[in-house]
Amino acid sequence: MVLPLPCRTSAGFRRPLPPDGCPWHTSDVPSDVRCRGGTVGRTRTPVVAGWFTGEGDDFRLLGTRCAACASVFFPREDGLCRNPACAGGELVEVPLSRRGRVWSYTDGRYRPPAPYVSDPELPWEPRTLIAVELAAERMVVLGQGVEGVSVADLEVGMEVEVVPGVLGEEGDDESGTVWTTWQWRPTGVRA
Ligand SMILES: [Zn+2]
């Protein structure tokens, strides 16, 4: 299994990150090298607990489904069914469809405020935001595009799939945290 996370050294070297971490992100790598997928020594922690699970091909967003009316909620609803026509049923955790179609997209040209995690020392790199329609769940889920995907690469109706991604990093290489999230990656299937 190869995670779709790029590793980039100061030399601009990129390649897929193997599951046991970045082979170049070791203690003898110069301190100016930043590994965007750095898993070595850092704890990978979901930026929001309970919204996604798994790694690689098993990665899935998690929602909840009302046992009474079958409405699906993401972000997950664990209290009461939000369907006004429903008397309310048990809300059961369900994995969402891995693939959907681009409903809309834009790019974030400004650094979002806290609690968004970003390093103020680094220049802000615009990230592509994609709203994805999941047909089975009849919902639209927003998320970042994977690194390297720009608005020029996207069109409405294009198929994308959910993959694990990194939102940001905090702390040092030994005890720091890698904040994980979900991202959307085009599958190559067009509208
Ligand atoms: Zn319901």
Same domain, residue pair 49 and 76: no
Which residues fall within 8 angstroms of residue 141, CB to CB, at 6 or more apart?
A: 61, 74, 96, 100, 131, 132, 134
pTM of the model: 0.71
Q: How far apart are CA 51 and CA 75, in angstroms?
A: 7
* Under 8 Å between Cβ of 164 and 56: yes
* Ligand 1 centroid from CA 162, angstroms: 26
Same domain, residue pair 165 and 120: yes
* Ligand 1 centroid from CA 101, angstroms: 25
pLDDT for residue 28: 40
Domain that holds residue 90: 60-96
- Return the sign of the alpha-carbon dihedral for residues 140, 66, 82, 60: negative
Same domain, residue pair 78 and 147: no
Highest-pLDDT range among 29-33, 112-116, 120-124: 120-124
Q: Is residue 191 part of a domain?
A: no
Q: Is residue 106 part of a domain?
A: yes
Query: Percentage of residues in the chain with pLDDT exceeding 90?
Result: 51
In eight-state DSSP terms, residue 80 is: S
Same domain, residue pair 50 and 136: yes
Where is 93: in which H helix or E strand? Answer: strand 91-95
Please tell me the total count of domains within the chain: 2
Same domain, residue pair 11 and 54: yes
Same domain, residue pair 88 and 181: no
Using one digit for the tens of pLDDT, what is the confidence trace for 138-190?
999 999 999 899 999 999 999 999 999 988 888 877 778 888 999 999 998 87
* Ligand 1 centroid from CA 92, angstroms: 11
* Ligand 1 centroid from CA 81, angstroms: 5
